[in-house]
Chain A
Amino acid sequence: MANQNVIRLKNVWKIYTMGEVQVPALRGLNLEIKRGEFVAVMGPSGSGKSTAMNMVGCLDIPTKGSIFLDGKDISHLSESDLAQIRGKKIGFIFQQFNLIQTLSALENVMLPMTFQGMENEKKRTRAEDLLKMVDLGERIHHKPNELSGGQQQRVAIARSLANDPEVVLADEPTGNLDSKTENVIMEFLKKLHSDKCKTIIMVTHDEGVASYAERVEYLKDGIVVNSKKGSRYKKNSIKCLPKKTKK
């Protein structure tokens, strides 16, 4: 059923042309992610997990095959239309935080709402609430370079939730952090999943980090080669289980 799968990749190929050589990064990848799931994608470098992540995040379109977001095929949309969709439905958390250095924490969180044309008052209140949620209520006017790595990643988490997306995509979210901060960030991600009922897709190298997820998919040479349950997974709160109820 369409409303069961929030994202579905069907026989997706991505082939990069490097000079004369064609390098396939994905070779007919099939992947289904249900609403409210917490999925980790693992694999060695070159396995195609970053490419898969870009596809899932609507940052790129496949060479062949289809991608369905909420049951709608998005594999033929223009870059500009994709931007609109991902702004609304997908929140990103990156390994390098990817905050805009000239903007304050608050402005960074407001930015995705700006691109959706939300009015100023509403944007501001929501951004403040989100920053409070990640325990940064006191530092909303700090610029990224005045914040620690962990704090920056928390700003990024707040930003990923700005437009209340269905899906939060985390690309090596703890890759640049020490293990103590890693725990803090993972706790926040867990909370997004269990309290906010978000679908979370996370790419990681780290078995320990992956074990937080409900399901771990192993990629190799552009296809899924193995799938198992995360050892540390804790179930969703009851309110998220039956059907999607927002907040």
Chain B
Amino acid sequence: MILDYFKIALSNLTRRKLRSWLTVIGIFIGIMAVVGLISLSQGMENALLEEFRKLGTDRIIITPGGAAFGPLGGSLSATKFTEDDYGVVKKIRGVQQSASVLAESAYLTFGKENKQQLVWGFPTNSESLEFFKTESMFDIGEGRFLRSSDKYKTMIGWGIANDFFDKEIKVGNTMYINGIPFQVIGIHDKMGGIASSDNVIRIPKDTAREIFMKPEEITAMFIKVREGFEIDDVVDTAKRKLRKFRNVKAGEEDFTIQTSEQTIRAFEAVLGVVQAVLVGLAMISLLVGGIGIMNTMYTSVVERTKEIGIMKSVGARNSAIMLIFLIESGLLGMVGGSIGVLLGLGIGKAAEFAAFQYGIESLKAYTGLPLILGALLFSFIVGAMAGTLPARQAAKLNPVDALRK
């Protein structure tokens, strides 16, 4: 029986093709936006998670100042760390390897070009070198890693070498940092990705102290937690010890301890808000689409009053009339939804391709089944809901009056 109602509903929709399509457009724009945005932001989230997983989840970063994203936050804050702070942290049980770094903004000169960029002073003692060499983000593509005897040498990211200056930088070239010549001894592999370090410039920390005239200050500390130790325990200990050393009360810390987990969560929170705002905007367009369906269905009820009377006179119960109209509006919603899902996924893929062209290889638009089915179901519900009032009006028509039309 329900199949027959589908047939009747379908024949009504195809009878007024243009109007049906126009109504469908209202829905598919909304669904397209929702699907496109969700697939992209989900893809972005996945890419970020992957990046952080690459960095390892047993890492802790400690920076001076209140909560801020990444080690850069520290360089902007008023409070400073010194090597003494690092000395406290370094000795905590559960710390397998650690390093402290100094970062400063500096003028780079290569050829005739002059540009500003953050320069990282990296420790070149054997323990720190050991630490950094285990990290995939420090893989060397050409040349070699810094070693402890190096002084005015630099190791640069793939992006600095290839995209930063008009001229490509090769191993052996000389680049000026704050006017001082540095020999490029190593270029990293291309990382790609969002949290990538393609634009990093590294010099020995002692050299950095000298040229930036910062004999004691450090920008961040990196810790690798020893296997068998809970990362949260190590974080707690570090927090307590630093608090004592710096003489601050609990809750008033002038430093920030970040773990990959925390950073992931922070990113997820931000992405979640962005996602909610975008989807909210898309929902407004869906609402407009739903009103379009309602409008079409009301018109349809008026046009088909006589037909409703006929169906009632041959024995259609109110529920049958209601169902026919609901199926009709639901179908409008679902056809719109299907087209919207296809186009939305298309947009996601297009953005993925565009991102790839810009070197962000880890952004893959998410195309999971829950998203597709969810969008289809949702569009059907929007359609059916928009059809409810018109369908009720149709069902309640008095057959005598309806037949007179």
Contacts and interface: CB of A to CB of B under 8 A. Distances in A.
A103 B11 contact: yes
B313 A86 contact: yes
Interface string B378-403: 00000000000000000000111001
Interface of A: 54, 57, 59-60, 79-81, 83-84, 86-88, 92, 94, 98-103, 107, 110-112, 114-117, 120, 159, 162-163
Given A98-B310, A100-B310, A103-B11, A116 B403 contact: no
Interface string B298-333: 000000001101111111111110000000000000
Given A98-B313, A102-B12, A102-B15, A79 B318 contact: yes
Most B-side CB within 10 Å, residue of A83, A102, A107: A83
B210 interface: no
Given A99-B310, A115-B311, 13 more contacts: A59-B399, A60-B398, A79-B318, A80-B319, A81-B317, A83-B315, A86-B313, A102-B11, A107-B7, A111-B311, A114-B4, A115-B317, A163-B315
26 contacts: A59-B399, A59-B400, A60-B399, A79-B312, A80-B318, A83-B315, A86-B313, A87-B314, A88-B315, A92-B313, A98-B313, A98-B403, A99-B310, A100-B307, A102-B12, A102-B15, A111-B314, A112-B314, A112-B315, A114-B1, A115-B315, A115-B316, A115-B317, A115-B320, A116-B315, A162-B314
B277 to A, nearest CB: 44
Nearest to A89: B315
A114 B15 CA distance: 21
A111 B317 CA distance: 13
Nearest to B316: A115
A206 to B, nearest CB: 21
A59 B1 contact: no
A203 to B, nearest CB: 13
A110 to B, nearest CB: 8
Nearest to B306: A98
Contacts of A87: 314-316
A120 B3 CA distance: 10
A86 B4 CA distance: 20
B310 A80 contact: no
Interface string B260-275: 0000000000000000
Contacts of A159: 314
A84 B403 contact: no
Nearest to A85: B315
A83 B313 CA distance: 7
B1 A117 contact: yes
A60 B7 CA distance: 29
B199 to A, nearest CB: 65
A229 B342 CA distance: 71
Please provide the 10 A-B residue pairs with the shortest distance between their CB atoms, ordered closest to farther.
A87-B315, A112-B314, A115-B315, A80-B318, A102-B11, A114-B4, A80-B317, A98-B310, A115-B316, A83-B317
Q: Is chain B's interface secondary structure helix, strand, loop, or mixed overall? A: helix
A92 B312 CA distance: 11
A102 B12 CA distance: 7
B402 to A, nearest CB: 10
Contacts of A80: 317-319
Contacts of B315: 83-84, 86-88, 112, 115-116, 163
B398 A79 contact: yes
A172 to B, nearest CB: 13
Contacts of B316: 83, 87, 115
B7 to A, nearest CB: 8
Nearest to A163: B315
Contacts of B4: 110, 114, 120
Most buried by B among A92, A94, A114: A114
Pick from B4, B306, B315 the residue with the most CB of A within 10 Å: B315
Nearest to A103: B11
Contacts of A98: 306, 309-310, 313, 403
A99, A100, A163: residue with the most chain B Cβ atoms closer than 10 Å: A100
A117 B317 CA distance: 11
Contacts of A101: 307
A7 B315 CA distance: 18
Contacts of B311: 100, 111, 115
A40 to B, nearest CB: 20
B331 to A, nearest CB: 15
A107 B5 CA distance: 12
A111 B307 CA distance: 12
A92 B314 contact: yes
Contact of B313 (A57, A81, A102, A103): A57
Contacts of A120: 4
